[in-house]
Structure 1
Amino acid sequence: MAEPGIVILGSGSLARSICYSLAILCATKCVVTVVSTTPQNSAEVCYVADVRAASSGTPVRFRALSVDRYTTESISSILRQSRPRIVLNCASYQSPWERTRSPSAWTALTTRAGFGLTLPLQAAVAIEAASAITALAPRPLFLNACFPDAVNPLLKALGLPIFCGVGNVALLAASLRESLRPARGERLQVLGHHWHLHTPDDAADDALAWLDGTPVREVGPLLRRQRAADRSELNAVTGHVTALLLADLVIGREVRTSLPGPLGLPGGYPVRIHERSLTLELPPGMPPAQAIALNRAWAQQDGVSVEENGEVRFSTSASLAIRSELPDFPGSVHARDIPELCSRLLELRGRLRRSQAPSTSHR
């Protein structure tokens, strides 16, 4: 059995929020290793988290490590040394709030195309990390925070290990819990997609929720406060909810919650985790095939879908938008071609970031 440790890849705002909440929530002796490509960042995260843990009297400790790049080899070296029970990836090549913090012709393009266009940039580090985990025995649980609704199915199609994602539908569930305030013991189940972080044009396309098996009516108004908040502020919620999950997983406590990309499925679902085993826990009258079909339809709204055979399909709007800059950009590729596509998008992004963004409204 692996030691009760956690490795977190990345030191951005989400990784920081997770660590700062873990510092006060994790009641078991545990070492959290934060891995960054910027040594100062991981050291800073671990200092603040250690101070919070010491002030709170919790036994969790934080350790900072750095790598030049997130590669299978560099991650493997850290995992062989740490032997964690859980690996959480929070590192990608694309920030979801770049368009509000540093608008450019690149962010204008991704706004037109849909967030799904950035899938190759979101998946690159996750592929390296999952490849590193494949060689370990026993394998740690691999959780992914970077666009898990689409990246996790990509990993599954490549035959790589993936347990579940964090954020997205878990954030929706946390916000609904605040709005509904269920009584102790009442079960909240949420079916939804990353796309539902925004308000759908048609209320009939919104996320679905059930309270003790009874459908929740008019989910949209219950999510109004979340959708009005700045996306970067929401990391304080996502980080806390993720820390609660990690604190339970590291000691093997049973968990009933809603998570994105469980076992490589597209979108988010209510799940049950017991003894490192995850199963869907859908409400009565909702068969798995129907839940998956709904999430596949919602994925199209986000601009990308990943088929079970590994085909990655970009929506028509995404393809039209990107071809204004890359005329030969494929409408679909196989999952194994995603790293090459990532390189092309990084080159394009570098060029477009130097361009001023056209005046446009953002969702």
Structure 2
Amino acid sequence: MSRHSRTRGTAQSPAKKPLIMLVGMGDLSAKVLTMLLADPATDRVVLAGRDTETIRRRGNLALFTATNLGRHGSVDTVHMDLRNVEATAETLARVRPDIVFMGGSLQSWRVITQLPKQTFEELDEAQFGPWLPMHLTLNHLLMRAVRESGVETRVVNAAFPDAVGPVLDKVGLAPTIGVGNVANIVPALTHGAAHLLGEHPADVELRLVAQHYFSHYVPRFGDAGKGAYHLDVRVDGGDTRAEIDHHALFAQLDHRLKRLGGIDGQLLTASSAVRVLHGMATDSGVLAHAPAPGGLPGGYPVRVHRDGGTLDLPDGLTREEAVRLNEDCQRADGIDRIDDDGTVHFTEAEMSVMNRLLGYDCPSMKLGDCADWADELGRKYAAFAAGFR
């Protein structure tokens, strides 16, 4: 037996690691892939998409980068077109991933940031809720395929999980958990709280309940706007609740703690995703923040285990109150309510912005009509954006 064979024989068997499938290989998934391959607990990966040659090359780039760092995982590639539910189900049944990371969307959130600044700011007044069809459509197709495949995989969703999760939960198709959004603001709040309290960031423990609107608004404007939330700050290993001035805390995020956003900011979302994926891969019970655990609306502090996240709310805050806060914050994001059949009702003020600028008016949307609304929204936005080229 060669020396190299003996070395491989003493390593952890790849079969004992979870197989993680990444669906939708855009910028976010590429960053997630690089992080996964740097960790021996998560370095068994398969990439799924329509352009298999491109994603194979992206996979090789990440694989070779990991090799430079002394890590030797595995990356495979499979063809997947989410619009073909039957074929997607067959692929899932054949590959049998333990975890699926959903990074696919019909239009990235950052597309509108490429508009002229004044135009972007005007359109951004519509908030994120009206763009839901662009993120719900592919998730709906994926979750239908997961159900048809018969594979007991867990799905981690990065595409507007705050609203996609609760809509699909109404029909029994919710992804296991989401990533980003509430998780993206917690590190800055932790550093800001540590600064105000005179503590080291490692000694400050936050638990935040908030929907996407809050995590998007505070870093841009330094206050909570119309967003309902609940924030608990503790020190001394989590034993002592700290009283803190929220206004002074939030103001730092638009000043001394302001960060890069846009495509650069996706590094932060990727790290939040990997925290969840690693927690699931290792069944660690790590404290994290995540949107839509088990299909709940908005974001929560959770303990991450093999099967997703369980709520880890601060003392005195009930599950019902946390859900209510997130539903209130969801209205500020342009979604008034979600009916029991998955029909989404959008807020009038935010949808009126979409109508005025794009000529797109969707007061309510049945789940079965989501793809049609996404097609209409995509066409009307493309026509609108073409006027600025």
Verify same fold: TM over 0.5.
Answer: yes
Please name the residue that 2:114 is paired with.
101
When residues 277 and 119 of structure 1 are mapped into structure 2, their CA distance, relative to the original with a 3 A threshold, is: closer
The one of 22, 39, 43 equivalent to 1:8 is 22
**CA shift for structure 1 position 318:** 2.5
Residues 194-343 of structure 1 mapped to structure 2, 5 A cutoff: 194-196=212-214, 197-199=216-218, 203=224, 205=226, 207-210=229-232, 211=234, 212=238, 213-214=241-242, 216-218=244-246, 219-224=249-254, 227-276=258-307, 278-309=309-340, 310-324=342-356, 329-343=361-375
SS of 1:93 mapped into structure 2: coil
SS of 2:104 mapped into structure 1: coil
Please name the residue that 1:188 is paired with.
206
Quick one: which amino acid aligns to residue 293 of structure 1?
R
**Structure 2: runs of 5+ lacking an equivalent:** 1-14, 195-199
**CA shift for structure 1 position 52:** 2.3
Contact 1:105 1:352 in 2 (8 A): no
**CA shift for structure 1 position 135:** 2.3
When residues 116 and 204 of structure 1 are mapped into structure 2, their CA distance, relative to the original with a 3 A threshold, is: closer
**CA shift for structure 1 position 353:** 2.9
String of CA shifts for 1:322-352, please: whole Å, max 9, x gaps: 3347878341233332222212212322322
Please name the residue that 1:143 is paired with.
156
SS of 2:202 mapped into structure 1: coil
- 1:65 and 2:96 matched: no
SS of 1:75 mapped into structure 2: helix
Contact 1:11 1:36 in 2 (8 A): yes
**CA shift for structure 1 position 214:** 4.2
Quick one: which amino acid aligns to residue 19 of structure 2?
G
Distance 1:138 1:145 in 2: 21
Contact 1:33 1:64 in 2 (8 A): yes
Contact 1:3 1:85 in 2 (8 A): no
When residues 195 and 10 of structure 1 are mapped into structure 2, their CA distance, relative to the original with a 3 A threshold, is: same
When residues 191 and 123 of structure 1 are mapped into structure 2, their CA distance, relative to the original with a 3 A threshold, is: same
TM-score, structure 1 as length reference: 0.86
The one of 125, 137, 141 equivalent to 1:128 is 141
**CA shift for structure 1 position 146:** 0.5
SS of 1:183 mapped into structure 2: helix
Quick one: which amino acid aligns to residue 60 of structure 2?
Y
SS of 1:65 mapped into structure 2: strand
With 325-334 and 226-235 compared, the bigger mean Cα shift is at 325-334
Contact 2:49 2:55 in 1 (8 A): yes
The one of 73, 79, 88 equivalent to 1:75 is 88
With 239-248 and 82-91 compared, the bigger mean Cα shift is at 239-248
Quick one: which amino acid aligns to residue 267 of structure 2?
A
Please name the residue that 1:21 is paired with.
35
Residues 345-360 of structure 1 mapped to structure 2, 5 A cutoff: 345-356=377-388
SS of 1:8 mapped into structure 2: strand
Contact 2:51 2:79 in 1 (8 A): yes
Distance 1:235 1:126 in 2: 20
**Structure 1: runs of 5+ lacking an equivalent:** 358-363
TM-score, structure 2 as length reference: 0.81
Contact 1:314 1:331 in 2 (8 A): yes
String of CA shifts for 1:299-341, please: whole Å, max 9, x gaps: 1111124425123111112232233478783412333322222
SS of 1:142 mapped into structure 2: strand
**CA shift for structure 1 position 159:** 1.8
Contact 1:312 1:333 in 2 (8 A): yes
Q: Which has the larger radius of gyration?
A: 2
**CA shift for structure 1 position 266:** 1.0
**CA shift for structure 1 position 98:** 1.3
String of CA shifts for 1:7-52, please: whole Å, max 9, x gaps: 111111111111111121x223742112233334412321221012
Please name the residue that 1:361 is paired with.
none
Please name the residue that 1:49 is paired with.
62
What do you get for the CA RMSD once the two structures are aligned?
2.9
When residues 235 and 174 of structure 1 are mapped into structure 2, their CA distance, relative to the original with a 3 A threshold, is: same
Looking at both structures, which has the greater relative contact order when contacts are Cα pairs under 8 Å and sequence separation is at least 6?
1
Distance 1:106 1:132 in 2: 38
**CA shift for structure 1 position 90:** 0.6
Distance 2:358 2:263 in 1: 30
Contact 2:288 2:302 in 1 (8 A): yes
Contact 2:127 2:213 in 1 (8 A): no
SS of 2:149 mapped into structure 1: coil
Contact 1:18 1:239 in 2 (8 A): yes
